[in-house]
């Protein structure tokens, strides 16, 4: 009894709080807006952006040795010099020899050094590293474009799934209305004595089936909307207002044009091309690894002792040119060159494989669009035929020359034909989106 009382009290307290929660505002989207929203909010894209930023910074990292280098150093030390060596000496030719030794000396020493160095020439070694880093950054940027294209495709497919689910729900609602109309007609004929009671019993079966399918279609609408919200980065219970997409324009060109566009525009291909360029620049850097370098350098130092050790003391300076050329380096250059040549061959093979992959994807997507186009045409013809057969069966049943089973079968055939036409239409839209992605045109690159 007490438990029931407290449950009642809690429910009375929670209901007003729940009632005060404002409904989540709906979001209106077109197909293109959904693609861009998904790209803008997806964590994978943000991670790729961070990788691009890091890759761009690599250019300045490898260019740093060619910029002025200024080094400041200082030291403060307490020093004790060791006793000097024994010294023998005689004076004014006397036969007496004297031996003496300097005593250890303690003193404080402070020293400040300032070194400025500027690379003048290295015969292209650092520039090769800069070119390699820049090409690597371009390759990472194409990886970002690849992720964006894939996420945009996912968003468009999820958007079309949600639209198709809503269209199916509408068809099922019309199926319920159609079955209920037929049930009413059967009951009217039974009341008029022109149909057996079995017709009213059998007519209830399509009604119950249609209601069940309508419930399933509503659940599918909820599921596809939640999936779309997840791709878009929105709360999964966000209500969406979706606009039906216009029929996309005809595919520009033929199969050869689609293959050519894929080989030219796909970011995966562009990324492999930049990887090959980066490996070629890395090979040039390896060939110039032990090039000589010419530097301009300036050095200033100040030394003070004892009580003035903390203050600048006697100062000196030096200015001149430095020439550095490593002669023996353990055969390092030869190994770097061999390694770089292997990476060039690897990049060439990966580019060739990527070109073949995008060509195959473009061919398959183009064939899928052609098949989907024919499926749409066939599905439209089937809907027209099924509608005509249903109208004929309904008229014959009203005239008393056709059984109820013929009517219900024709209605089911008509509904299946409409559902198949929906599947064919949205299948065409999906195939068209995949072809646009395969051509590298889903999101135009900046």
pLDDT of 14 over the 60 cut: no
Q: What is the pLDDT of residue 154?
A: 93
pLDDT of 8 over the 80 cut: no
C-alpha 264 chain-centroid distance = 20
pLDDT of 248 over the 80 cut: no
CA distances from 345 to 117, 289, 350 (A): 38, 20, 9
pLDDT of 7 over the 50 cut: no
**Please, are residues 210 and 175 in contact by the beta-carbon 8 Å criterion?**
yes
Q: What is the pLDDT of residue 153?
A: 94
Backbone phi and psi for residue 98, each to the nearest 5 degrees, phi listed first: -110, 135
pLDDT of 50 over the 70 cut: yes
Q: Is 110 helix (H, G, I), strand (E, B) or coil?
A: strand
CB atoms within 10 A of CB 67: 11
For the chain, how far is it from start to end, CA to CA, in angstroms?
70
pLDDT in tens, 78-127: 888 887 788 776 666 666 666 767 778 888 888 889 999 998 888 888 99
pLDDT of 31 over the 90 cut: no
| Residue 137 token pair | 């950054």
Helices (H), 195-306: 197-232, 255-265, 267-287
pLDDT in tens, 154-165: 999 999 999 999
Mean pLDDT of 61-75: 90
Domains of the chain with bracketed CATH:
24-69+123-291+330-438 (1.20.1600.10)
What is the Cβ-side half-sphere exposure of residue 68, based on CA atoms within 13 angstroms? 5
Strand 27-29 to 240-242 pairing: parallel
Element (H, E) at 156: helix 125-192
CB atoms within 10 A of CB 47: 12
| Residue 218 token pair | 């509503």
**Please, are residues 108 and 79 in contact by the beta-carbon 8 Å criterion?**
yes
**Relative orientation angle of helices 125-192 and 267-287, to the nearest 10 degrees:** 170
Mean pLDDT of 408-433: 92
Q: What is the pLDDT of residue 434?
A: 94
Q: What is the pLDDT of residue 282?
A: 93
97 strand-pairing partners: 90
- CA dist., res. 52 & res. 44, Å (int): 12
pLDDT in tens, 216-247: 999 999 999 999 999 988 888 888 888 887 77
| Residue 35 token pair | 């693609």
pLDDT in tens, 327-339: 888 888 899 999 9
Q: What is the pLDDT of residue 122?
A: 87
pLDDT of 2 over the 60 cut: no
pLDDT in tens, 311-325: 777 788 888 898 888
Predicted TM-score (pTM) of the model is: 0.79
pLDDT of 197 over the 60 cut: yes
**Please, are residues 304 and 313 in contact by the beta-carbon 8 Å criterion?**
yes
Mean pLDDT of 274-283: 95
Q: What is the pLDDT of residue 314?
A: 79
- Residue whose pair of structure tokens reads 């968003």 in the numeric block: 155
pLDDT of 279 over the 50 cut: yes
**Please, are residues 236 and 229 in contact by the beta-carbon 8 Å criterion?**
yes
Taking every pair of C-alpha atoms in the chain, what is the biggest distance, in angstroms? 164
pLDDT of 271 over the 90 cut: yes
**Relative orientation angle of helices 125-192 and 197-232, to the nearest 10 degrees:** 160
Helix and strand numbers (H, E) in the chain are 9, 8
pLDDT in tens, 169-190: 999 999 999 889 888 988 888 8
Confidence band (pLDDT; 50, 70, 90) for 401?
Answer: confident
Q: What is the pLDDT of residue 384?
A: 94
Q: 264, 231, 247: which is closest to 438 by C-alpha? A: 264
pLDDT in tens, 332-383: 889 999 999 999 999 999 999 999 999 999 999 999 999 999 999 999 999 9
Q: What is the pLDDT of residue 142?
A: 92
Q: Is 209 helix (H, G, I), strand (E, B) or coil?
A: helix
Cα torsion angle, 247, 253, 257, 261, sign: negative
Q: What is the pLDDT of residue 185?
A: 86
| Residue 25 token pair | 């505002």
Confidence band (pLDDT; 50, 70, 90) for 291?
Answer: confident
Q: What is the pLDDT of residue 365?
A: 95
- CA dist., res. 189 & res. 100, Å (int): 144
pLDDT of 439 over the 60 cut: yes
β strands within 260-409, DSSP E: 293-305, 314-324
**Please, are residues 62 and 129 in contact by the beta-carbon 8 Å criterion?**
yes
Q: Average pLDDT over the chain, rounded to whole?
A: 86
C-alpha 103 chain-centroid distance = 75
Q: What is the pLDDT of residue 24?
A: 64
- Percent of the chain residues topping a pLDDT of 70: 91
Q: What is the pLDDT of residue 445?
A: 55
């Amino acid at each position: 009894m007490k438990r029931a009382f407290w449950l009642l009290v809690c429910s009375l307290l929670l209901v007003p709080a729940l009632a005060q929660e404002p409904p989540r505002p709906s979001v209106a989207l077109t197909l293109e807006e959904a693609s861009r929203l998904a790209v803008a909010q997806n964590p994978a894209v943000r991670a790729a952006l961070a990788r691009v930023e890091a890759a761009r910074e690599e250019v300045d990292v490898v260019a740093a040795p060619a910029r002025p280098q200024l080094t400041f150093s200082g030291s403060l030390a307490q020093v004790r010099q060791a006793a000097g060596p024994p010294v023998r000496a005689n004076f004014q030719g006397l036969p007496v020899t004297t031996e003496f030794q300097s005593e250890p000396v303690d003193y404080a020493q402070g020293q400040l050094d300032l070194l400025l160095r500027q690379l003048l020439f290295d015969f292209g070694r650092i520039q090769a590293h800069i070119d390699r880093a820049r090409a690597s950054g371009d390759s990472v940027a194409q990886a970002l474009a690849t992720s964006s294209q894939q996420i945009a495709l996912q968003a468009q497919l999820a958007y079309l799934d949600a639209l198709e689910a809503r269209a199916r729900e509408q068809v099922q609602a019309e199926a319920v209305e159609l079955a209920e109309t037929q049930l009413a007609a059967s009951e009217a004929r039974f009341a008029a004595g022109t149909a057996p009671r079995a017709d009213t019993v059998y007519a209830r079966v399509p009604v119950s089936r249609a209601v069940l399918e309508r419930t399933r279609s509503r659940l599918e609408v909820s599921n596809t909307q939640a999936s779309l919200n997840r791709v878009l980065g929105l709360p999964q219970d966000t209500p969406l207002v979706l606009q039906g997409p216009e029929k996309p324009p005809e595919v520009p060109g033929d199969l050869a044009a689609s293959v050519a566009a894929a080989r030219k525009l796909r970011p995966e291909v562009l990324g492999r091309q930049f990887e090959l360029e980066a490996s070629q620049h890395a090979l040039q850097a390896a060939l110039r690894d032990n090039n000589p370098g010419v530097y301009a350098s300036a050095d200033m130092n100040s030394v003070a002792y004892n009580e003035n050790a903390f203050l600048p003391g006697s100062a000196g300076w030096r200015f001149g040119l430095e020439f550095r050329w490593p002669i023996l380096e353990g055969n390092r250059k030869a190994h770097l060159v061999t390694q770089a040549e292997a990476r060039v061959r690897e990049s060439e093979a990966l580019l060739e494989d990527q070109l073949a992959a995008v060509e195959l994807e473009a061919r398959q997507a183009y064939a899928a669009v052609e098949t989907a186009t024919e499926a749409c045409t066939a599905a439209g013809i089937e809907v027209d035929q099924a509608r005509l057969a249903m109208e004929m069966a309904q008229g014959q049943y009203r005239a008393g020359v056709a059984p109820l089973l013929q009517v219900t079968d024709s209605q089911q055939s008509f509904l299946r034909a409409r559902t198949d036409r929906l599947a064919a239409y949205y299948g065409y839209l999906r195939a068209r989106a995949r072809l646009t992605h395969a051509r590298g045109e889903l999101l135009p690159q900046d």
